[in-house]
Chain A
Amino acid sequence: MTCDKYENALLLAAASNGELDAKLAQNLERCSTCRMTLRSERELFSRIDSALRAQVNGDPRPGFLAQLRLQLSKKLTARPGSDRVWHVAGAALALVLIAMFYPLVNARQSSVQGNLQTPTIKAPQSGSVTQSPRASEDLGVRSRHHSKRPAGAVPQKPEVLVPPDEQKAFAQFVACVARRDAIAQAVVMPATNKTVNRNTELPQVSSVDIADLQLVRARQEERIDQTGRSE
């Protein structure tokens, strides 16, 4: 065996600093070069370890803390910039979302306000009950299923949403009410406009008889006595 064969084994033995293999130990007894190599390698590792311990466990070099504070301050001042970028991005995203959804919300609110207005009921042109679908169309009565109006469009006339199965009855009701304008006016007219005839004048009394309560009782007792004597 040559010494080159034990080169790696020597390095491993020096690095691990453990017990030597039997064959390696025999080679070290015979070869002085290998003994020197092992010794120098062990010394190298021991120097490395001692230097590392000195660096890790020793006091920090002068100016280390100042340099550390400087680096920390740089990182702390650099962080708000990145946050500012995120804030700007968030604001831009919020604006885009508002621009996307504002027309939809605005149109929906207009539609709701239009439905909340007092509906104006028109009398049908040719008022026969059999033409109730036509009458309902004239009156702006539409069902949800038949409405072809695109979403977001503001209705020109106030519409009354009636389920399909109740459209006919509602049209009959509207036609009936339309023939009775007085009833329709009474129904549609707000309560504040209604005038109620109330008699707010005080009752007038021409003359009042005021009698003493004790005198009245005495007269009643006299009457009772007289009736008792006569009997």
Chain B
Amino acid sequence: MTDMPKPTAEDIAASNEFGRRLQEAMAALSEKSRLVLLLTSMDGHSLEEVAELLQLPVGTVKSRLHSARKQLAEKLR
């Protein structure tokens, strides 16, 4: 097992399982983190606009976005 190379991000993205794993990782997020992640992923939405939409400080949005991406990376790594 130790001889097998660790799958890289490219290998994971290339696999068909990546989308399903991403969905599972998204479902494991809290609703607040998931909402920030989805809103910031939409085209044409800046962090300031998302903060105004959710009536939150921009720093809070940044913090939630960073935490959500980190959790996703931990599950998809």
Contact = CB atoms under 8 A, between A and B. Distances in A.
Interface of A: 11, 14-16, 40-41, 43-49, 51-53, 55-57
Contacts, number: 56
A47 B42 contact: no
Contacts of B43: 53, 57
Contacts of B42: 53, 56-57
Nearest to A37: B6
Interface string B63-77: 000100110110011
Contacts of B37: 52
Interface in B1-42: 8-10, 12-13, 18-19, 22, 37-38, 41-42
Contacts of A56: 38, 41-42
Q: Which of A44, A55, A57 has the most CB of B within 10 A?
A: A44
Q: Which of B19, B22, B69 has the most CB of A within 10 A?
A: B69
Contacts of B73: 11, 14-15, 41, 44-45, 48
Contacts of A48: 22, 69, 72-73, 76
A15 B10 CA distance: 16
Interface in B32-63: 37-38, 41-43
B41 A43 contact: no
B69 A45 contact: yes
A32 to B, nearest CB: 15
Specify the main secondary structure of chain B where it touches its partner: helix
A64 B41 CA distance: 20
A51 B66 contact: no
Contact of A44 (B12, B19, B38, B66): B12
B22 to A, nearest CB: 5
B37 to A, nearest CB: 7
Given A11-B73, A41-B9, 14 more contacts: A14-B73, A15-B73, A40-B9, A43-B8, A43-B10, A44-B12, A45-B69, A46-B9, A49-B41, A51-B18, A52-B22, A53-B42, A56-B41, A56-B42
A44 B9 contact: yes
A149 B18 CA distance: 86
Contact of B8 (A15, A40, A51): A40
A52 B38 contact: yes
A15 B70 contact: yes
B44 to A, nearest CB: 9
A149 to B, nearest CB: 65
B4 to A, nearest CB: 15
Nearest to B41: A52
Nearest to A36: B8
Contacts of A43: 8-10, 13
Nearest to A44: B9
